[in-house]
Amino acid sequence: MRRLWLRCNLQKVIFFFFALILLCVFIFVPAEVSERPRFIVEFGINCSAIYDMEPVEVNKCLVARKKRYVGPTDKNVVNATFDCDQFVASKGYDALQGSEFEREFPLAYSLVVHKNADLVERLLRAIYMPHNVYCIHYDQKSSDDFKSAMQGLTRCLPNVFIASKLERVQYAAISRLKADLNCLSDLMESEVKWKYVINLCGQDFPLRTNAELVSDLKMLKGRNMVESKRPGGKEWRWRFHHVLKNEISDNYELPITTNEKKIPPPHNIEMFVGSAYFTLSWEFVLFAQSSLARDFLSWSEDTYSPDEHFWATLVRVPGVPGEVLRSDPDITELTSKTRLVKWKNLEKNLYPPCTGEHVRSVCVYGVGELRWLLNYGHWFANKVDPNIDPILIECLEEKLLEKQMASNKTMK
Ligand SMILES: *[C@@H]1O[C@H](CO)[C@@H](O)[C@H](O)[C@H]1NC(C)=O
Ligand SMILES: *[C@@H]1O[C@H](CO)[C@@H](O)[C@H](O)[C@H]1NC(C)=O
Ligand SMILES: *[C@@H]1O[C@H](CO)[C@@H](O)[C@H](O)[C@H]1NC(C)=O
C-alpha cells in the first residue's frame, strides 16, 4: 500500500518536474525569435499530403487561410538580430553547409528588396550557404526599421552585405536596373570566386536546393540563363524619350512617353526584350562592365523599363561570353528556368489557373500550386506572400529542408 502510494507520488513529482521544464522552454526560448505562427503546426497540415493533393489536407488549408496571417514586424527582425549567436543558431543557419561539389562552385545573389524583412530573411535562409555571397540592395525609400533589419542580417552573417551604393528605386525606370548593377559591381570585388549570379526580389522563393541549382548550372557550361525575345510591339519603349513624372502620387514616379524620338542604340546593338531576372556567369558580368555595355546603359537611361531589355539585348551581342546568336529562336520565360511566373492572361493556355490571388495580373501562389511549382523544373517562384497564402511558403521551406537533409546524409 505504502509502496503504491510512493510510486504514485513519485510519478506526480516527475510529471510536475517535466511540465515545469516544458513551460520554461516555451516561455523563455522562442519568445524573441520564432514568434511567427506556424500554420502547418497549428492546423496539423502535412505538406507531403498537400503535394499528393489529398482532399482532406487541402480542405484544412482552406480553413486555415481564413485566419489572418500576422507575421513578425521589421522591428521584431531588428530585435532578433541583436544577439547574432542566438539568431544564427535558432534559425538554423549554422546547420547549412554545402558538399565539396557545391563548395567548388560558389554562387552570388543580388537581392533587390524594399519591405517585409521577415520574408526577406526566410528567402535568404532558403538560399543560404556559408560559401556563397549575398548582396542586399534596399530601397532608399524603405522604412528605417526595414533598413536596420537588413543591416542586422549583414552583421550576423559574414557573407551577406549591403550594396555600397543605394538607389531610390522607381518602377519601370533605370533605377531598378541600377540597383542590380550596384550589387553586381560589388560582387565582382568579392573574395568569393563565384561562378554564377542570380538576382531575386523580396517575393521570390527557391524551388531547388543549392546542390540542385549547382548541378543545373554546371550543365550550362558558361552559358547564361535569361529571357531574350524579339521586341514584337515593344519598340516604343526605346524609340521615344521618357521622363519621370509623379502623376499618381508625390512618392511614386513613372516614366512617361514623350513625342521626342531617340537615336538608335550605340554600336549597332540589335534590341531584344525579356525580363529583369537573370542568371549570369562571372565572365558575362565582367563584359557587362565594358565600355560597350556602359554606352548601352547610358543610352537606356530614358527608355521605359530598361531592366526588361538590357540583359535580353546584351546576351545577343556578337562575341560576348555565353553569346546567344541573334538568329537563334526566342528564349521565353518558360524556356528560361530562372523564374516561374503565372500571368493572368496566359492561364489555362500555358498553365492551370492561379490558386492564390492575382496582384497586378501576376499570380501570388497558393498551396494548390505546390506540386506544379516543385515539378515544373524552374529554379525560383515569383510571387509568394504569406498574407495571401502562408502555408505554401511553409511547405516550400519544409520540402527544401527535407531535400537538404537527404543530401546531407549521403555527403562526406
Ligand atoms: C503525410 O502524408 C504522406 C503522404 O500522403 C504520408 O505518407 C505520411 O505518412 C504523412 N505523415 C504524417 C506524419 O502523417
Ligand atoms: C525589442 O527588444 C526590446 C528590449 O530588448 C523591447 O523593449 C522591445 O519591445 C522589443 N521590440 C519588439 C518590436 O520586439
Ligand atoms: C548537415 O551535417 C552537419 C554535420 O555533418 C550537421 O552539423 C548539420 O546540422 C546538418 N544539416 C542539416 C540541415 O541536417
How is the chain split into domains, by residue range?
Answer: 39-68+339-412, 236-314
Q: What are phi and psi of 364, to 5 degrees?
A: -95, 115
- d(CA 366, CA 389) in angstroms, rounded, equals 5
Ligand nearest to the CA of 403: 3
Catalytic-role residue among 102, 227, 308, 394: 308
Q: What are phi and psi of 172, to 5 degrees?
A: 65, 10
Tell me which DSSP letter residue 83 carries: S
Instruction: Answer whether 298 contacts ligand 1 (Cβ < 6 A).
Output: no
Instruction: Using the atom order of ligand 2, give the atom closest to the CA of residue 73.
Output: 13
Residue pair 164/178 in contact (Cβ under 8 Å)? The answer is: no
Cα-to-centroid distance, 160 and ligand 1 (Å)? 37
Q: Is the pTM of this model over 0.85?
A: yes
Per-10-residue mean pLDDT, the chain, length 412: 58 65 53 64 94 92 88 96 97 92 97 98 97 98 97 98 96 94 98 98 97 97 96 94 82 86 96 96 98 98 96 97 97 92 90 94 95 96 95 96 84 56
pLDDT score, position 31: 43
Q: What are phi and psi of 280, to 5 degrees?
A: -125, 145
In sequence order, the 6+-apart residues with CB closer than 8 A to the CB of 219 are none
Residue pair 313/249 in contact (Cβ under 8 Å)? The answer is: no
Neighbours of 91 (CB within 10 A): 21
pLDDT score, position 34: 46
> Buried b vs exposed e over 393-408: b needs ≥16 C-beta within 10 Å?
bbbbbebbbeebeebe
Q: Where are the beta strands (DSSP E) in 94-195?
A: 107-113, 133-138, 160-162
Verify whether residue 347 is a known catalytic residue: no
pLDDT score, position 405: 86
C-alpha cell at 283: 565572365
pLDDT score, position 409: 75
Altogether, the residues listed in the chain come to a count of: 412
Tell me whether strands 279-281 and 196-201 are parallel, antiparallel or unpaired: antiparallel
pLDDT score, position 411: 63
Collapsing DSSP states into helix, strand and coil, what is residue 202? coil
